Structure 1
């Protein structure tokens, strides 16, 4: 299995100008354009734009992933706390029922 980059840059001529695209590999067979810009005077200008924007794009994606991970962790902690509270309430209810049954048996 090869380790290909998830993102790549494609610079191509479009008429008498250049176009730069940032491509994201969705699957082995499919890619998607994440960002593009046309109208560059030279190939070097298009490449420079793509390089800087790719770096910014990847940094933003990493920050977004961290925020989502943190949010998911907080949700998991909250769900676990809720589950523990429900379990504690169920245990207390069972104890009260058992105590009540013992009282009823003692009264008979």
Structure 2
């Protein structure tokens, strides 16, 4: 694969992950701006984690906290290491996607797993 092709593929994969993470934030009640950055998504998921209370939701809160840490790592890396940034974005998505919707009862099944890039 030529470097230009790899760069284009990485940019497309990053954009797709940002869209999927935006959906995960929206499902948790966050208002996502039109063109969110990784740091904005981290802040929104951090806010969603803060709303989860009780013993049953503590696991979900812990998963969101890890997702936020991955988003912050991806934000710090920026465009320096695209493949590593994508790994952090995927980890954040995987951590945030299967969590229950905050509007559902605590015993409700989680969301379906997202498709990978």
TM over 0.5: same fold?
no
TM-score (norm 1): 0.27
If asked which structure has higher relative contact order (CA below 8 Å, sep 6+), I would say: 2
Query: Whose helix proportion is higher, 1 or 2?
Result: 2
> Which structure has the larger Rg over C-alpha atoms?
1
Query: Whose strand proportion is higher, 1 or 2?
Result: 1
